[in-house]
Amino acid sequence: MQKLEDAVIHMQQSFSNIFFLFSNHNKLVNVQNISSEEIFSDNSISLLNQLSIELYKSPKIRKYPDVATFAFFCRKANILNVKRKYNQGGFRLGRGIVFHIAPSNVPVNFAYSMVAGLLSGNNNIVRVPSKNFEQVSIIIEALKNVAISNNSFDLENRLFLVKYEKSSDATEYFSSICDIRVIWGGDQTIDLVRINKIQPRSIDITFSDRYSFAIINAEKIVYEKKIDKVANNFFNDTYLFDQNACSAPRIVIWIGSEDVIKKAKNIFWNSVQNRIKNYDFSPILAIDKLVSLLEQSTMNHQLTKVKSINNKLWRINTPILFKELENYTCAGGYFLEYNANSIDEIASFVTRKFQTMAYFGFEKNDLMKALKKMKLLGIDRVVPFGKTTDFDLIWDGYDLIYILSRECVVV
């Protein structure tokens, strides 16, 4: 009991610089006494469904495809579909309190993290992005409306959305009371957050700096009838988030014979070039790309730049694949390309650092077979073009529902 009182005093000290976007500090004081729920509780599913309905009511949703995708994800039909996989007769409960630290520059990520926390039966404290994204406001407003109309599930006791300055000791406090800390935002953020202790039984889920690549069957590009659609999917995988999402391909591996690859590259990149006509290009990116290439060139890997129409799209050829290839990339429309004979060649660069392999022109089962044979330390997702940014409850190799909950074994 002594311990709890200490914590309360500590917490009250730091409350002055915490801004609550959802719920309030009186409720927060009590969060440690709120029990957790079973995974995929009816309450959480119906809450998310209401949230989805509420979001669709908002006229602003048209402006933000990322919010629309999120609303679509929260539908009851989708959640029930996901739930099916977890119906194995066991008894799983949320671990207690999840403290989420969302990345500062992806608006909707905080909401997916929150959904994972709710569906796994937990009470959640979410630090939302410091920047004022309208997407964040839209979702929070909808949440508030849902909370008012939904009496069965006392959301204000279970969910806290907060903002605070770096200088605040809120991270220290939330770390000290949470059962799981979920850290998005990359290596630097992880290092900074980890300065703060968590309890002995608590665990960290970290989303570190990851990189992704694309693999293209050249022949399929040459015979593709809807190449603009392929380019558009690729655009959504890359340029949509300035090629800076961890799931955005920065390396393109072409598979095929030399002459087919040559043809395919022409067709594909012309179409991409066409798609990026309206891409909002900031001048600093031109310099970033030049600095990246010139600096990388001094490491003697024989990289060469392909002549470019403009600075929106840069392609760099590498004659070999090597470890730490991810250090030879850049964001904002900069693609390292390699011509391969077979998919087996990716083993020479794929390390733990690699997250998503986006593919075009392959059969899912063939890729699965190849990866099973290779047993690589990296690649957690293999998705077709256009799907790299789709959120899934399995992310970076973690099954978030399982890892955020505990199994109570009844023998």
Partner 1 sequence: MCIQDLLNINPYSLKSEAKYNLLNKELLSLTKYHYENSPLYKNMLDALEIDIKDLRNYTDIPFLPVRLFKELDLVSVSPENIVKTMTSSGTTGQKVSRIYLDKETSSNQTKVLTSIVSNYLGMKRVPMLIIDSSDILKNRTMFSARGAGILGFSMFGSIREYLCDSEMKINLGTLENFLIKHKDQKIFIFGFTFMIWQHFYNELKNVEYRPDLSNAILIHGGGWKKIQSESVDSEQFKKSLNEVCGIKPENIHDYYGMVEQTGSIYMECENGYLHTSIYSDIIIRRSIDFSIADLGEEGLIEVVSILPKSYPGHVLLTEDQGIVFGEDNCKCGRLGKYFKITGRIKNAEIRGCSDSYAAKF
Residue 161 to residue 115: CA distance in whole angstroms: 13
Examine residue 290 and tell whether it contacts partner 1 (CB under 8 A): yes
Closest to 350 (Cα-Cα) out of 382, 324, 372: 324
Question: Rounded to whole angstroms, how far apart are CA atoms 180 and 201?
Answer: 9
- Alpha-carbon span 315 to 227, nearest angstrom: 19
C-beta closer to partner 1: residue 221 or 285: 285
Site string for partner 1, 156-185 (x = CB under 8 A): ----------------------------xx
Stretch that binds partner 1, among 1-9, 41-49, 238-246, 364-372 (CB under 8 A): 238-246
Question: 348 and 328 in contact (C-beta within 8 Å)?
Answer: no
Nearest to 317 by CA among 283, 360, 269, 276: 269
Which residues inside 186-205 make contact with partner 1, applying CB under 8 A? 186-189
Residue 372 is given by DSSP the state: H
Residue 73 to residue 108: CA distance in whole angstroms: 12
Interface region with partner 1, contact rule CB under 8 A, candidates 80-88, 104-112, 217-225, 376-384: 104-112
DSSP state of 307: P
Q: Which residue from 12, 13, 137, 304 is in contact with partner 1, where contact means CB under 8 A? A: 304
Stretch that binds partner 1, among 26-34, 170-178, 235-243, 363-371 (CB under 8 A): 235-243
Q: Which is nearer to partner 1, 27 or 163 (CB)?
A: 163
Residues 240-269 close enough to bind partner 1 by CB under 8 A: 240-246, 248
CB of 79 to partner 1, least distance (A): 24
Using the rule CB under 8 A, which residue among 281, 345, 371, 384 binds partner 1? Answer: 281
> Which residue, 146 or 293, is less far from partner 1 as judged by CB?
293
Of 53 and 192, the one with the shorter C-beta distance to partner 1 is 192
Identify the residue among 93, 221, 285, 358 touching partner 1 (CB under 8 A).
Answer: 285
Q: Which is nearer to partner 1, 104 or 157 (CB)?
A: 104
CB nearer partner 1, residue 136 or residue 285: 285
Give the H/E segment covering residue 263: helix 258-275
Which of 185/378 has CB closer to partner 1?
185
Bridge partner residues of 205 (DSSP): 182
Task: Between 148 and 294, name the residue whose CB sits nearer to partner 1.
Answer: 294
Strand ranges (DSSP E) for 263-380?
Answer: 304-306, 314-317, 334-340, 354-360
Show the tokens assigned to 189. Answer: 């953020």
**Phi, psi for residue 41 in degrees, rounded to 5:** -65, 150
Four-residue CA torsion sign, 8, 10, 12, 17: negative
User: How many angstroms separate the CA atoms of 263 and 128, rounded?
Assistant: 46
Does the footprint of partner 1 cover residue 347 (CB under 8 A)?
no
Q: Give the footprint of partner 1 on this chain (CB under 8 A).
A: 103-106, 109, 184-189, 207, 209, 240-246, 248, 281-288, 290-291, 293-298, 300, 302-305, 307-312, 331-332
